[in-house]
Amino acid sequence: MDIGIVGLPRSGKTTLFNAVTRGAAQTATFSSETKPNIGVAKVPDPRLQLLTDMFVSKKTVEAEVTYVDLPPAPEGLGQSRGISGEYLNHLQRADALVVVVRAFEDPSVADDGRGVDPYRDVETMLYELTFADLEILDRKLTRLAEGKKSTKAAERQTIEREEELILRLKQGLEDGTPIGGQKLSLDEARQIEGYQFLTAKPIIVVANAGEDQLDELAAMEERLASEFGSEWTLTAAVCGKLEMELAQMDAEDEKEFRESMGAGESGLARMLWLSYQALDQITFFTGSETEVRAWTVERDAPATRAAGRIHSDLERGFIRAEVVTCDNLLRCGSYAEAKKFGLLRQEGKTYQVKEGDVLTILFNV
């Protein structure tokens, strides 16, 4: 899972990136960064420790989500001049986008002269993403028109069909429906897979509030959800700077501070959970005396695909999977006991992996 973090200058992208990856990338009152920060967030999961204790395992490995914190766009993202070049490539590579908007008031951090308004900024950002896709569509239309001139009548039909689809997508976008929200046949969806449209990606809108706005978070979340929430747009409000400071403490101190400030669930856990939701991912486990490990895969993925997440050999040479739910395994205390109670199942290639499954893949290459 690769998640791109975007937003207007000084909205708190790097601050949130640091919070979720427990990183220490440079944040700044004046934008100076030009390279993206790439970091990995380890997904906390209490089941991992329980499994590690049960297996008396030497090693525990959490599931990971990669975040890419993008510097402000060189052309001035948010000023309707579009997104292009390397910046666009970075965005296109992400599986989902976090759109950060500034809600915190702080006179030492300059705004763009229009005052702080997170809702206006969400609209600006969504407009920018739409604008970038419209540009991609226009470029494609130009290329198709050129192609039509130099092809024979028989091939022209294929081009015209593609042209039709692109025009329909464009109309939809202009009417305010992101490409991810437009109805497409399977065939059409496959046809546009390669284009990497930004509005086809799930979006997580995060309002970055100040620590003095803790008691406004709930109201902010409500307004964000009602104005922008949809099947493909998730919304949240967090205190980025506070979360970053908390993420840099050790677990005990963090817990104490969180309680004393009434800061609730960790913003880090929240961001990760939203990332899972946006990409419809589930967690499964592998376990032995050498290593207990959590993995992610799309919901309803077949066992072969889950095997492939572990290693391509396991997907290629897949024979079958031994499956037990994490809860059942922990209750039984060992594979042998789980087997005795008939809780260890043998599953084939098409078995749809469930949240919390513990898998042993049998394979032969």
Please state the closest distance from residue 261 (CB atom) to ligand GTP, in A: 13
How buried is residue 100: exposed, middle or buried, by Cβ count under 10 Å (0-12/13-18/19+)? Answer: buried
182 binds, options ligand GTP, Mg ion, none, Cβ within 5 to 8 A by partner type: none
Nearest to 122 by CA among 22, 220, 50, 51: 220
351 contacts ligand GTP (rule: CB under 6 A): no
Quick check: 318 and 307 in contact, CB under 8 A? yes
Task: Give CA–CA dist 302/116, Å, rounded.
Answer: 46
Please state the closest distance from residue 8 (CB atom) to ligand GTP, in A: 7
Please state the closest distance from residue 10 (CB atom) to Mg ion, in A: 8
| Of the residues 4, 7, 14, 302, which one makes contact with Mg ion according to CB under 5 A | 14
15 contacts ligand GTP (rule: CB under 6 A): yes
How buried is residue 184: exposed, middle or buried, by Cβ count under 10 Å (0-12/13-18/19+)? Answer: middle
241 contacts ligand GTP (rule: CB under 6 A): yes
Task: Give CA–CA dist 175/212, Å, rounded.
Answer: 38
Tell me which residues in 174-233 interact with ligand GTP (CB under 6 A).
208, 210
Using the contact rule CB under 5 A, the part of the chain among 7-15, 60-68, 176-184, 257-265 near Mg ion is: 7-15
The end-to-end CA distance of the chain, in Å, is: 27
10 contacts ligand GTP (rule: CB under 6 A): yes
| Amino acid letter for position 105 | E
13 contacts ligand GTP (rule: CB under 6 A): yes
Tell me which residues in 91-120 interact with ligand GTP (CB under 6 A).
104, 106, 109
Task: Give CA–CA dist 330/50, Å, rounded.
Answer: 7
- Eight-state DSSP code of residue 198: G
Residues that bind ligand GTP (CB under 6 A): 7, 9-15, 27-29, 31, 33, 71-72, 104, 106, 109, 208, 210, 239-241
Residues that bind Mg ion (CB under 5 A): 13-14
